[in-house]
Structure formats: C-alpha cells, structure tokens
Structure 1
C-alpha cells in the first residue's frame, strides 16, 4: 500500500478537506479494497455529501460494519440518508445485535420513514405505483423495481407487497423475494401467496425460516458438496447457483417438493454430466417436471436481461 498516499488521505480527512480525501481514498481502495479502506472511503464520501456513493461502498463490505455498534451506527446513517429503509430493516433483522439495540435502530428507521412520507410523498407514490403495477413488464424491469421499492417506508411497501404475493402474472422470483424480505425483516404478518402450484396459500411470515436454514437447503447443498464439488469445483459452483434459484422459486414450500434430496441432485446433475437416471421412475418423473418448470422461469429471466442490454 502507498503509505504516503494513505497518510495524505488521512490528513485531508482530518483537516476537513473531504473531496481531496475522497480522491485519495478512491485511488487507494481501487488498488487494495480492504475493509479498513472501505470504512475510510465511505466516511469520506459521507462527509463530502456523496451519500449514494457512500451507500454503494458500505454495501460492498457489510460484514465490516456489523463487527461493532459504532460502525453500524454509521452504516445505518448512510442507508437512512438514502431512504433505503427496507434494506436496512432486512439487515438489522438478520444481524446479531442485542434486542434492545435493534429496537432503537428500528425506532430510528420509523422516525425517518415518517419524514420520508411527508417530504417524499410524490416520489414514494410513484415508486409504489410502479412496484404495484409491474406484471406486464419484463422480469429485468420487475427486479429493478423490486430493488427501488426498498426505498419505500414499510407501510407503503407492505401494501404493494401483499398484492404482489397474490399476483399470478408476476415472475415467481419476485413473489419469493418479497416473502424473503418479510422474513428477513422479522415481520409478523398474515399474508396469502400465489405459489407454483397455482394455488393460494395462507402464511404467517413470523413462522418462516431463512432459506439457508430450511431442511431442503441444508440437505441438497450438503450432497452437492460431497458428490460434485470435491470432484469438479467448477461444475459444483454452477449447480449451486441453479439450486439456489430452484430453492428461491420453491420458497417457502420446498420440503413439499424436494422429498428426496439425493434424487433431486442426481436429476439436477444429469443435465450437465453423463450420469444416467431412470426416467421411468415415478419420483424422478416428478422431479424432472418440477425442474423443467423452474428452468423455464430461469431462461425467461436470462433472456429478459439479454434483451435489456
């Protein structure tokens, strides 16, 4: 690391020459994107009133800010300054902080949301309407609007989210992502969800597990690790990514579909290897049907992003 440049950046920050500090820390971070420099650069951006850039940088190294409360205090200030209320609620919901501290953070978010509801009423209304009415849009646009909607106050976000969970024309990755957001925020909401079986299912979001803690996630990933990763890490990485999408599509009812994790991985792997499967087996037939259905969703998503380039 260029010690002279680092000392100059620290001196500029200390003497309140924030833009100079930004330029120097940007150069340092580009060469060596460490957690320490991430923290320095995000602070410089924030003090230079470059709040969007500050958020972009802190989100590159979230774990660094979860290490201790003073760092997370800064982290939450950055996200609140950018009206990233839902994202911050998700992060505090999954963070390992004491309950009392989490309550204080949530009170701070709620207070900021009240200000946003007053000062950003028209902008919020536009974002909410676009979030609410997007079934006719390509999936690339749906995903972009889902991310933008994380700037909405919780009550306004929830109003649209409840509708989207029941919209049969929304791409299923959006419905499952909305539900996952509710779980991350630790919301206690009774909702109905239109699922892949084309039926509505009542749910209490407070009863949901994170995807990574579900039985299907643990078992299928363990089998992939043991049977594929050790022999072919590149193929293993590809299969893990496809499995991740499958489990997202199936959330929160994956256990109803993946009743045999070993067979599920065998079928998944057979598309990429010379492993033969008994396609006359009734269990395997059912698995192939489910995996083909989800593959169509994924292909439509990939094509949508290609078309948007």
Structure 2
C-alpha cells in the first residue's frame, strides 16, 4: 500500500503528463487519509480537468476561506461553482473575496453573468422547474424547505432575487427559512430595499447589504454577554446548553432583535427561568411580551422536528 507521500508524488507525475484521471484517483486516496488545503487544491484541480465539477466544488468549499485568499485559487473555486451551475454559491463566495479584493470582483461578475446567460439558454426548463419549486417552498415541511433552499442556489441571480422577494413575505413560510433567504441576500450584497415579514408577522423594509452579521448587532451581543455574566461561572453545563438555544433565538429575531428585547438581562433571566422551571410569577408587561416571543420561538422549533 502506498504512503500518502507516494500517492501525492504519483498524482503529481500523472498531472504533469496530462493524465488527470489517474492524478485525481491518486490524490483522492491520499485525501481520504489526510485532509489539508494543499492536497485539496491538487485534488480539486485534477477533478476539474476531468470535468467532475460538482465533486470538485463540494471539496473546494471545505476550504473556502483558503481558496479566497488569492486571485488564482479564488478563480478555481468560482469556476468549479459556475461549471456545476451553483451560481448563488459562486456569488456568495465572490462577495467574500471582494472584501479584500474589490477589483477582482468586477472581472468575476462578468464571468458569472456570462455563465448565467449560458444557463438561461441551455438549462431553461431546469431553471424554470427549480424556480417554481423555490416559489412553493412553504408547501413543504421545514425539513423539505431546507433541501429546496439548497437546490435554489443553482438558480441564476436574477431568478433567485425575484423568488426571494416573494418568499420574504410569504406568511406560510417557516421563519427560519425566511431568515435564511434574507441572509443569503445579504451575502449576495443586494443593495436595493426588500420587504421582510418578521417574527411578529409585521413587515420590515430593509437593505440586505446594510444588515449586520447574524448575532453581531448591539442587542445580540448584549444578550450573549448577559448569559455569560449570569451563568458562565455559576453553571457551565447549563451555560453551554443555553448558548446554542440563545443563538437559535437570535436567528428567529434577525435582523431586528431590538423590536422585542427591551432588556438583555431580562431576556436571559426569562430564558433561564423557562428552561429550569423557575419563572417568576410576577412579570412586567415588557417581560411578558418577551416571554411570549420566547414561547413562540419554542413552538416554531417543535415544527423543525416534524
């Protein structure tokens, strides 16, 4: 049995000779034994030469941040995604690279547009079907919604944006799915206002690109700090458990937790009380509203398991 070093050497020799299928097989066996970005890049490059773009893109995304550090490797990732018709993911990755290389983004946008135009011509029926399924996201249980959200990343930017604007105000869509769509628009850098149905079923007008990162607005940071202050040193096990639950609550409240969280300390106290069965029998009006929202979130969470 070859060692990892021998497999890599064999793969590099095959690649130099243009035997990309052999190179890919050698790199793949090596990668199964030891994962690293350097080996990932060799395997992805070989897979692209053998036109196995879907497998290549899935592997490349395991090291997305590393690929996006240079123009050359970012081009490899974007090309893989375009060739496998993952246009939304390609744009999301490109926007990440744009934070440190805005000039690179301009040329890449042209590449993305050309790839999407080609898809509109050669995959017209497939795109039409995917878009129709995306539009009817709320027809499915939540688990099915997640699958279709992933499939929708094969839509072109224009088609995704059109359907997304409808889904953001679909009253039958699960709130986490609505948030996922909105957060995708943020990742895409959408600068035009959109209407979004918030947790309390009221409408917000927001500019996705101007929204804060999930959990990084001042209210979210305050409640995370309050949880740490109240529990981290008193009950580490409960603190760790409630950290995950709090993060999920903040997803439901995105992008405007300040609409309901009037006191970070009270929100956390209510969270702890409801989870430990020690809720105070006397709550203020604002505390009761916060508790009602927490209970609504809990009910929506139950739907995730159905």
Deviation at 1:268, TM superposition (A): 2.5
Gap change, CA 1:171 and 1:34, over 3 Å in 2: same
Distance in 2 between residues matched to 1:175 and 1:43, nearest whole Å: 36
Which 10-residue stretch deviates more, 284-293 or 115-124?
284-293
Q: 1:55 aligns with which of 57, 62, 70?
A: 57
> In the alignment, is the contact (CA less than 8 A) between 1:279 and 1:285 conserved in 2?
no
Query: Which shifted more, 9-18 or 163-172?
Result: 9-18
Partner of 1:110: 113
Identify unmatched segments of 5+ residues in structure 2: none
Q: How far off is 1:300 after superposition? A: 0.7
For 1:128 and 1:260, locate their aligned partners in 2 and report how far apart those are by CA, in whole Å. 41
- Other-structure match for 2:33: 31
* 2:145 is the counterpart of 1:142: yes
Q: 1:255 to 1:97 in 2, by over 3 A?
A: same
Runs of at least 4 residues off by over 6 Å: none
- The match for 1:82 is 84
The worse-fitting range, judged by mean Cα deviation, of 63-72 and 195-204 is 195-204
CA-CA distance at 1:233 after TM superposition: 5.8
Given the two structures, how large is their TM-score scaled by the length of structure 1? Answer: 0.89
Question: Aligned partners of 2:233 and 2:108: how far apart in 1?
Answer: 43
| Correspondence for 1:12 among 6, 14, 19 | 14
1:239 to 234, 239, 242: 242
TM-score (norm 2): 0.90
Q: Which moved more, 1:193-202 or 1:231-240?
A: 231-240
Q: CA deviation at 1:30?
A: 1.9
Root-mean-square deviation (CA), in Å? 2.1
Partners in 2 of 1:264 and 1:140 — Cα distance? 29
Give the 3 Å change call, closer, same or farther, for CA 94–210 of structure 1 in structure 2. Answer: farther
Aligned partners of 2:273 and 2:280 also within 8 Å: no
Look up the match of 1:306. none
1:224–1:14 CA distance, 2 compared to 1 (3 A): farther
